[in-house]
Amino acid sequence: MNALPQPQDCCTPCETPVTVSVPGPQGIAGPQGEKGETGSVGPTGPVGPTGPKGATGAAGGQVTTTKGDMIVDDGGATPSASPQRLPVGATGKTLHANAALPYGVGWQTIDLTGAATLLVGPLPLSLGGTGGTDASTARIALGAQPLDSELTALASVTSAADRVPYFTGSGTASVAVFTALARTLLANATAALMRSTLEQVLPRYGLLASKIGINLNSSATDNAVVVESARYRVDKIVVTNASINLTTATLGVFTAAGGGGTTIAADQALTVCSAASKFHDLTLGGSVTADVVTAATIYLRVGTAQGASATANVFVFGYALD
């Protein structure tokens, strides 16, 4: 600090001294204070321009559109609650599907009324599809007959009038002639009707009736047999193939039970039948040598039992006259 001037000796009164403050040198800077709080974020700047459009993915398939709802299937078990609308073309146009389609939404019905239908995955039975991605799965879903080589063989033949298919081997088939006459013949229930259909020339000789294994150890027993003709002439009755030597048994043939009606052959011994290799022609009754027989059933009646277990076969031969 500078010294103030000292007062002088004089005769005049002195002026009042003035004090003058002179600034001292600047002090040393103090330490920096703490950082203040961050100010609020300013407003967002404008959105930049849209980038270039990416290339379209490769087509995953195509369907021809029809009016209705679109079903998208990614294997989900239940329908989605959020249907979406896709900008598909008009009815009858072809739509190519790619990876941009909304997969991962489960079963979803998308309202496309008046637009088109896009199918992704198997078309379910409820929409007229097969429910399968291959023939085997589709047949199972539809409950169809599985593919079989025998069915394929039948399908390979050409159908035509008066033809019937038949197998010529394993997995192979052909057709045979099957005329109206053949069909009518097979429709006949009896041999007599078949002969009538064939219009054979009368008279016709052959087997009229037979009984295999007649019990010859049961006396006074009738064994009824049906004759395949309404009018016939009995020519011969043969007993053969005896199970034992028929030393005692007797047999007769009649048109009624109990030995009644017309006697075709009276009760008689069968002793000629001493073994299975032997046969015996029964002696016919007098009337049948001249009269036509019309009984539909005749009765082989055992008169006397053999006395031991015994059987034989009986055959009636003659002319069918109907």
Q: Residue 225: which CATH number? A: 2.60.120
CB atoms within 10 A of CB 306: 24
In a domain, 102, yes or no: yes
Residues 133 and 211 in one domain: no
What is the reported pLDDT for 6?
A: 56
Q: What is the pLDDT of residue 35?
A: 79
Q: What is the pLDDT of residue 139?
A: 77
pLDDT tens per residue across span 221-260: 999 999 988 999 999 999 999 999 999 999 999 999 999 9
Q: Are 134 and 242 in the same domain?
A: no
Domain-ending residue, one of 111, 128, 147:
147
Specify if 11 maps to a domain.
Answer: no
Same domain, 314 and 214: yes
Q: Looking at the 3D structure of the chain, how many domains does it have?
A: 2
Question: How many CB atoms lie under 10 A from the CB of residue 208?
Answer: 24
Q: What is the largest CA-CA distance in the chain?
A: 218
Is residue 136 domain-shared with residue 209, that is, in the same domain? no
Q: Which of 302, 313, 237 is nearest to 277 (CA)?
A: 313
pLDDT tens digit string along 159-200?
999 999 999 999 899 999 999 988 988 998 987 788 778 766
Please check whether residue 75 lies inside any domain of the structure: yes
How far is the C-alpha of 108 from the C-alpha of 15, rounded, in Å?
A: 111
> Are 141 and 219 part of one and the same domain?
no
Distance CA 81, CA 109 (A): 9
Whether 287 is in a domain gets the answer: yes
Q: How many H-runs (helices) and E-runs (strands) does the chain carry? A: 4, 15
Do 235 and 308 belong to one domain?
A: yes
Whether 273 and 246 have beta carbons less than 8 Å apart is answered as: yes
- Among 64, 60, 104, which residue's Cα sits nearest to residue 84? 104
Q: Does residue 215 share a domain with residue 141?
A: no
The domain boundary, picked from 117, 147, 177, lies at 147
Determine the Cα–Cα distance for residues 73 and 97; give it in Å rounded to an integer.
13
- Indicate the residue among 125, 147, 169 that finishes a domain: 147
Strand (E) or helix (H) holding 198: helix 191-198
Give a yes or no: residue 54 inside a domain: no
Q: Does 257 reside within a domain?
A: yes
What's the CA gap between 256 and 267, in Å, rounded? 14
Q: Is residue 292 part of a domain?
A: yes
Tokens of 113: 């009324």
CA atoms of 184 and 197, how far apart (whole Å): 8
Output the CA torsion 306→312→313→315 (10° steps).
-40
Token duo for residue 292:
């036509």
Q: Which residues does residue 315 pair with via DSSP β-bridges, in sequence order?
A: 210, 238
C-alpha dihedral (292, 297, 302, 308), degrees to nearest 10? 130
Residue at 170 is within a domain: no
Give the E-state strand segments of 227-310 in sequence order.
232-240, 250-256, 260-269, 279-281, 297-302
Q: What is the pTM of this model?
A: 0.43
Same domain, 221 and 300: yes
For residue 291, the enclosing domain spans 204-320
pLDDT of residue 99: 37
Residues 143 and 209 in one domain: no
Same domain, 218 and 314: yes
- Rounded to whole angstroms, the Cα distance separating 282 from 236 reads 7
Residues 236 and 315 in one domain: yes
Dihedral (C-alpha) 251, 257, 259, 262: value to the nearest 10 degrees? -110
Low-confidence ranges of the chain (pLDDT < 70): 1-24, 54-121, 145, 199-203
**Number of CB atoms found within 10 A of residue 77's CB:** 6
